[in-house]
Amino acid sequence: MDWYQLWEIISLPDNVPIVLLMIMLPFYTWYGLRQAFANDRLIAQLEADPEMAKTHHRKTQPFKKGWPREVHVWPYLLRIEFLATVIVTAILMVWSITLDAPLEEPANPSLTMNPSKAPWYFLGLQEMLVYFDPWIAGVVMPTLIIVGLIAIPYIDENPLGNGYYTYSQRKCAIWTFIFGFIVLWCVMVVIGTLIRGPGWMWFWPGQTWDHNKLVFEVNRDLHEFVGLTGTWAIAAFGTAVLGAFVAVSAWGTHKLLTLTEFNRKILDRMSLTQYLLLQLLMITMISLPAKMIARLVFRVKYVLVTPWFNI
Amino acid sequence: MPEEKDTGDSKRGLLGMFDTKVVQQKANEDLEALKKPTKTELYKSVFRVKHDDSPRSRTLGVLSNVFLHLHPAKINRDAVAYNYTWGMGGISFYLFVVLTWTGVLLMFYYHPTKVQAFRDILYLEHDVPFGKLLRNMHRWTAHAMILTVWLHMFRVFLTGSYKKPRQFNWAVGVILLVLTLLLSFTGYLLPDDQLGFWAVTVGTNMARATPILGHEGPFGPQFGMTPFNDVRFALLGGSIVDANALLRAYIWHCVAIPGFAATFMIVHFWRIRKDGGISGPSPMMLESEIKNPRR
């Protein structure tokens, strides 16, 4: 266990945000879900007792008859905003006094940094480069992430959970977002920062970053496992495997969307375009962990090989 | 003549300034006014409304102030608790203000040229008073803003605040998220050191692989893409990360993207108000109350 190496990575000034992320993200996930579960308990009570549902103010926050439902922005909100700016300024001051922004040697095109890493917030994309070609990892995936995020309100037909934390009323949505944001985005960022060392090789936390490490990985294309030859045969085989993957994940997504009575009710509200867009985004999202497993466990490089592009 | 008849009343005005009594009285009036500065016309002309704790004054205090007028006069009593919003949207905006401020100060000491850029950073770190603090604060604030923007998105998702009628504002928010990342990324190159150079090299190399528009992307060569005319060339102003790339990053970073971001922020904040203010905590809806959508 090389504690010094671990400290060296974590204490790098530019990696401080990652350390903050690793603390803040679990905290806020817990903080949000705790309120969601508290609300869910009240929802269950209200569902069970229609009389209570008629009269209850339907929040976990206390409320008594005669209390105003609104408060003045001045001073009740403005004092909080003012306090927030003071606290944030204080944090920034302490952070800026204690830690210096990194400055390396002058830019030198003939001396490659090893590992040469993108800024920490893009390391998820750089880590994706291990599993996909740059045109997917660097162009198609980011585009689909942006399109997918924008599309969320337009494909989520579930009217419940608007303006309050809840888990039980939005299980599908919450799981999908936590999977996409925390597992696929943030964890990939953490892998890219803490795990990937020189030569973009995998070093477990505490392993020494050995610049001379060589790994003899034999990554093979999927068609080599079956021993196919001939451009068209290979392309056809790849297309078939890819098609099978799309079919299986579409089936899985559909299973998820029809899993419960409630899910079916929501699915029934969706338009065809909404459904197809959701399927496209879900299949794309699933393709990342699928390719990761194929690559890390089975040493598969490409599934589909054509003369123009590979997937 | 009328002037001669006028004896008593007019001497209270300044016309009687040669009368010691009148001057004394005038001076006393002015001194009395100093004790109550809020009653003076000078004060009233600046602040316009009373600042006592009557509901009317509290409302006007927000509505008649240009910096505060984006706020409503009143908000949901439960929304002021920290646990609902986590304060991340507001903090993100404050960090943007800090970044603009420190960024403008940094611009005084920086030339976006290959000869001077790196030396300017050294100068800033070693000779400019508080220069190091300035640069540190700009960088850490940028990192912090990315964190707060992500957490803001996470909170908005968990509270379902993107749902009707706020769908479009969520889309604006996604664009602001992208702009935040791009702002940070374009700033990375500006010190012109190894870290920025290689990060931007890695980042822009991906643009080579853009389908059709990149010279290494699928169908790029077939559409006539070379290293000297593809999308990467447009980003860098050349085929390598060099002087033109530095200048382009500088202009994107200091002028263009902040301009876009500010514009989208105006829309974002405006739409919060127009879509009915902060989304909650709102009363919970039950499954049995779902209405069928209008077709």
pLDDT at B13 over 80: no
As a whole number of angstroms, the longest Cα–Cα distance in chain A is 80
Each residue's pLDDT tens digit, B111-132: 999 999 999 999 999 999 999 9
CB B170 within 8 A of CB A150: yes
Residues A277-302: tens digit of each pLDDT: 999 999 999 999 999 999 888 888 88
**B194 interfacial to chain A (CB closer than 8 Å):** yes
Give the residue-averaged pLDDT of A19-42. 95
Task: Please tell me the predicted confidence (pLDDT) of residue A274.
Answer: 94
For residues B154 and B251, membership in a common domain is answered with yes
Chain A closest-CA separation from residue B12 CA (Å): 43
Long-range contacts of A265-268 (CB under 8 A, 24+ apart): A265/B290, A266/A157, A266/A158, A266/A172
pLDDT band at B260 (very low <50, low <70, confident <90, very high): very high
Q: Is residue B54 part of a domain?
A: yes
User: Has residue B9 been placed in a domain?
Assistant: no
Chain segment B86-104, per-residue pLDDT in tens: 999 999 999 999 999 999 9
Within-domain flag for B78: no
Distance of CA B255 to the CA centre of its chain: 14
Residues B135 and B266 both lie in one domain: yes
- Average pLDDT of A153-173? 93
B57 and B156, same domain (yes or no): no
State the pLDDT confidence band at B1, using cuts at 50, 70 and 90. very low
Q: Do A77 and B144 touch (CB under 8 A)?
A: no
Give the best residue of B225, B284, B294, B295 to mutate against chain A (max A CB count within 10 A): B284
Interface of B with A in 72-131 (CB under 8 A): 72-78, 80-84, 86-87, 90-91, 94-95, 98, 118, 121-122, 125
Q: What is the mean pLDDT of chain B?
A: 89
| A121 vs B contacts (CB less than 8 Å) | 146, 181, 184
Query: Both B129 and B246 in a single domain?
Result: yes
**One domain, residues B30 and B105:** no
CA angle (A248, A251, A254) in 5-degree steps: 150
Task: Provide the ipTM.
Answer: 0.94
In a domain, B160, yes or no: yes
Same domain, B250 and B132: yes
CATH code where residue B149 lies: 1.20.810.10
- pLDDT class of B295 with cuts at 50, 70, 90: low
Tokens of A29: 């996930």
pLDDT at B92: 97
Q: Is residue B283 part of a domain?
A: no
Question: Looking at the complex, does the CB of residue B178 fall below 8 Å from at least one CB of chain A?
Answer: yes
- The neighbouring-strand residues paired with A71 are B75
- Per-residue pLDDT tens digits for A206-258: 888 888 877 777 888 888 888 888 889 899 999 999 999 999 999 999 999 99
Task: Looking at the complex, report in whole angstroms how far the Cα of residue B55 sits from the nearest Cα belonging to chain A.
Answer: 8
B47 and B145, same domain (yes or no): no
> Binning pLDDT at 50, 70 and 90, where does residue B26 land?
confident
Binned at pLDDT 50, 70 and 90, residue B66 comes out as: confident
How many whole angstroms separate alpha carbon A3 and alpha carbon A13?
18
**Is the CB of residue B26 less than 8 Å away from at least one CB of chain A?**
no
Is residue B42 located within the same domain as residue B178?
Answer: no
Q: Which chain A residues are closer than 8 Å to B279 by Cβ?
A: 162-163
Residue B2: is its pLDDT beyond 60?
no
- Same domain (yes/no): B57, B98: no
Residue B91 structural domain: 86-277
pLDDT of the residue at B100 = 97
> B199, A72: Cβ pair inside 8 Å?
no
Q: What percent of chain A has a predicted confidence (pLDDT) above 90?
A: 58
B49 is a domain residue:
yes
Residues B262, B231 share a domain? yes
Asked if the structure places residue B48 within a domain, the reply is yes
Tens of pLDDT, residue by residue over B180-226, are 999 999 999 999 999 999 988 888 888 888 888 888 888 888 889 98
CA angle B125, B240, B205 (to 5 degrees): 95
Claim to verify: residue B174 and residue B54 sit in the same structural domain: no
Pick from A73, A97, A157: CB nearest B74: A73
**pLDDT tens profile B161-192:** 999 899 999 999 999 999 999 999 999 999 99
**Given CB atoms, is B199 within the 8 Å cutoff of chain A?**
yes
Count the domains in chain B: 2
List own/partner pairs for B120-128 with CB under 8 A and 24 or more apart: B121/A103, B121/B191, B121/B192, B121/B193, B122/A103, B125/A103
**CA B183, CA B187: separation in Å to the nearest integer?**
6
* Region B251-258 average pLDDT: 96
CB contact under 8 A, A162 and B285: yes
Query: Sorting pLDDT into bands at 50, 70 and 90, what band is B11?
Result: low
How close, in Å, is residue B107 to chain A by CA atoms? 17
pLDDT tens for A66-90 read 899 899 998 899 999 999 999 999 9
Contacts of B198 in chain A (CB under 8 A): 112-113, 116-117
B116 lies in the same domain as B259: yes
pLDDT band at B294 (very low <50, low <70, confident <90, very high): low
- Listed by start position, the domains of chain A span 1-69+117-205, 217-311
